[in-house]
Structure 1
């Protein structure tokens, strides 16, 4: 690593939806000419490396990947967020400090630390060591604005101070100019497990308090997407969508190997004909729901590409899906993990049935693809409202009131509605064009340019 070049460090939250956008950020920094050290936990580092050996296009683009312990044993489960969060806070700050000290001693002095807004303790380490620190929000900046107003929400008696549970169901204005948010869409409220809700809420509170260590706060969003939030919270800078400046569509940081053969299958399908279905890295519909999805896709009569992650289906559903695959033949394709950015760029894709994670949402709108919204946790319910009500590029699904299942005819009707109304596609394409302009010439481009200058030159300010 050339010691004469600017050297920065990036550290994401150890979760798929956070590692991927941080890697996009790292790649953009590397394309500028910076040297980047990317710090994962030991566990996630091994997962990513194992997947990357099977992904043909998963090059590191000059990014140096290192790891530090997360405080848990390798054999421990990492689904208990509270336990993982406590372990990370206890072990990782000192380990990160050791990594930085070693690189500084080896002549690879770190000039700036980029930390996920859920890992802001790392900015405390940077501040202690006299290094510039930038908080990076990979989610909608509205969620970060919401976290910053938690003390007021508590004082106003809207949420409980212990676990964030809703005391008053109502619409909330984070600022006079922002559209109202429903308390039902608060990211931590989706967790029905009260211990998980409490640990997630307290993590959001602590991480947001630690933003005091940040010299800058940037977001993988755009003033085009969240104009009222950025105008109300001037300290939060839009530099996204980062993927819109990734012309190759190669995505690093995946936890699973990608089925690149599905791209050849897409090449054989008519333009704007394929329904793409994917529920992210952690969402997994139950067995009955999977059967309804299969029947709904079959009833549309349209070709489809459906991502079903390994280990997310029980024995009965697995057998049903095997019969389903026999029936549909080459008319549809099921994969364990897809090169999603390339899929959504493909001209054969007509719409995207999505869980509405922010990464997936950005990938959809940045490629002009209308969205069928199927949120299940965190900020996804907030994203659904924005997709359907603000941008008007998608439709939500209604669950059966007695069972909580989205039935096959609801799936068929909403897909037919979305594809039958050309205005959804027109609005999606218009949004795509605005986002491309934003990252190449507009506000995100200007913010990024100023950020780079600030990192390189102490005297430059944003």
Structure 2
């Protein structure tokens, strides 16, 4: 979202970026304010998501966030639009709302003020379309998933993607025995609400997910596929500063400089994954036993048992690899020392890995990640899918398969996919063209509002 906001700023728009106050007040908040200070037309504004500052907002507890946003954030958002603050300090009135796709309440509230809303869903197109088709899966009896169901059964009722996914590859929200599950119903409802918005932005490109994009376009005509967004942003600005809300450990880049070509496993499960201690131990031993050096991102909330036991465990183990709180991921993935990306298959991470042609080992945690890992392993052939397994022997074997026995095969496939990604954001590419169309459509909104 921040990358998209910067693209809008560079394109001449005045941008107000709403950020949850618990992030801005957190101990690991980056100097992002300073980085954006040279854009006079850009400003941050905080809002409350209604949860206490110490709430984890991760894992199973993310459902609390959905509920709190509905109760607390909606009235705050209406108050903001009613305040007339948009026209303060010489700024013009708001022309358009670009909202996270899980906050579709913005559509109705903004409509009261005659402001169009475009939703931005940071999922893959394939996951968005899968969630859109959940009612079809329920009607066909493929959902709910009962306890004795064969999870490798192929799903047959997703138009355009028939035979692509198994039950275990459906979004984690679908792993319920009761289709009235509140979290599943909420996510599916929010997905369908996109048809009521002015349009939908997806961070993907045509050649990557053509079937899903075609199906979504039939339901939502104003569809803007403009990914990889981080690459489109690189083309839009001269500098390559990273838009991260979290402080990054840049010393890891110096450590990578000292490693041989394509020798290092980069390990990051994002900032929402929560590992049990035994899962961490399996990954640790699997990596160590592989004999490959690794760079592992371990934020405070990664492991259930907390940071202190982890610190004690890691003491004296530096010779196996390097551990950091957070890393400049785009730069790490582009570093010549990286030979493999062990990832949770979050969509940003997946796209960044594709763009830098890094083969992946996927261990999805929740949400869209199950879908993404299936595509990486089975259809794009740029890595291996390790979902629903956490075993040190398998970790070791998969690392060796990606970095040794099938190394050339995976590198070739990854380079071919990276070429398509890079073409999409070049002049005349599908994502570049769609981004221009999006910007022109918003400019037209502004002209209509001014006339």
TM-score normalised by structure 1 residue count: 0.83
Aligned to 2:85: 103
State which of 414, 417, 423 in structure 2 corresponds to 1:431.
Answer: 417
Matched, 1:353 2:353: no
User: 2:16 and 2:161 mapped to 1: Cα distance?
Assistant: 39
Describe the shift of the 1:116–1:316 C-alpha distance in structure 2 as closer, same or farther (beyond 3 A).
closer
Matched, 1:385 2:364: no
User: 1:332 and 1:57 mapped to 2: Cα distance?
Assistant: 32
Map Cα deviations across residues 189-230 of structure 1 (whole Å, 9 max, x no partner).
4767x8999332122133124324311111001112101111
SS at match of 1:130: coil
CA contact (8 A) 2:16 2:44 kept: yes
Q: CA deviation at 1:452?
A: 0.9
Matched, 1:446 2:433: yes
Counterparts of 1:58-207 in structure 2, within 5 Å, are 59=36, 62=39, 63-74=42-53, 78=57, 80-101=61-82, 102-106=84-88, 107-160=91-144, 170-176=154-160, 179-189=163-173, 198-207=181-190
CA contact (8 A) 2:129 2:216 kept: yes
Describe the shift of the 1:316–1:89 C-alpha distance in structure 2 as closer, same or farther (beyond 3 A).
closer
Q: CA deviation at 1:310?
A: 2.2
User: 1:241 and 1:373 mapped to 2: Cα distance?
Assistant: 19
Aligned to 1:42: 21
State which of 44, 49, 52 in structure 1 corresponds to 2:30.
Answer: 52
CA contact (8 A) 2:160 2:211 kept: no
CA contact (8 A) 1:52 1:58 kept: no
Describe the shift of the 1:50–1:322 C-alpha distance in structure 2 as closer, same or farther (beyond 3 A).
closer
SS at match of 1:233: helix
User: 2:36 and 2:148 mapped to 1: Cα distance?
Assistant: 45
Counterparts of 1:263-342 in structure 2, within 5 Å, are 263-313=253-303, 314=305, 317-325=310-318, 328=319, 332-342=321-331
User: 1:445 and 1:165 mapped to 2: Cα distance?
Assistant: 46
SS at match of 2:315: helix
Matched, 1:251 2:242: yes
Map Cα deviations across residues 407-461 of structure 1 (whole Å, 9 max, x no partner).
1x3222211211222021111112111111101231111111111111111499x
Aligned length, in residue pairs: 425
Describe the shift of the 1:294–1:324 C-alpha distance in structure 2 as closer, same or farther (beyond 3 A).
farther
Q: CA deviation at 1:341?
A: 1.1
SS at match of 2:249: coil
Question: Structure 1 residues 59-68 or 137-146, which shifts more?
Answer: 59-68
5+ residue gaps, structure 1: 1-21
User: 2:294 and 2:171 mapped to 1: Cα distance?
Assistant: 30
Describe the shift of the 1:94–1:105 C-alpha distance in structure 2 as closer, same or farther (beyond 3 A).
farther
User: 1:311 and 1:426 mapped to 2: Cα distance?
Assistant: 35
Aligned to 2:353: 364
Aligned to 1:241: 228
Question: Structure 1 residues 194-203 or 239-248, which shifts more?
Answer: 194-203
Question: Structure 1 residues 234-243 or 86-95, which shifts more?
Answer: 86-95
Describe the shift of the 1:445–1:281 C-alpha distance in structure 2 as closer, same or farther (beyond 3 A).
same
CA contact (8 A) 1:191 1:377 kept: no
Map Cα deviations across residues 98-125 of structure 1 (whole Å, 9 max, x no partner).
2233234434311111111111111222
Describe the shift of the 1:435–1:93 C-alpha distance in structure 2 as closer, same or farther (beyond 3 A).
same
SS at match of 1:139: coil
TM-score normalised by structure 2 residue count: 0.85
Question: Structure 1 residues 224-233 or 298-307, which shifts more?
Answer: 298-307
Map Cα deviations across residues 258-284 of structure 1 (whole Å, 9 max, x no partner).
111111111122221211111111223
Describe the shift of the 1:287–1:71 C-alpha distance in structure 2 as closer, same or farther (beyond 3 A).
closer
Map Cα deviations across residues 242-270 of structure 1 (whole Å, 9 max, x no partner).
0112335533243x421111111111222
SS at match of 1:143: helix
- Pairwise CA RMSD: 3.1
Map Cα deviations across residues 67-122 of structure 1 (whole Å, 9 max, x no partner).
22223344656453333322211232232122233234434311111111111111
SS at match of 2:117: strand
Matched, 1:230 2:207: no
User: 1:283 and 1:73 mapped to 2: Cα distance?
Assistant: 20
Q: CA deviation at 1:170?
A: 4.6
Map Cα deviations across residues 39-64 of structure 1 (whole Å, 9 max, x no partner).
123223433x85113x7995466331
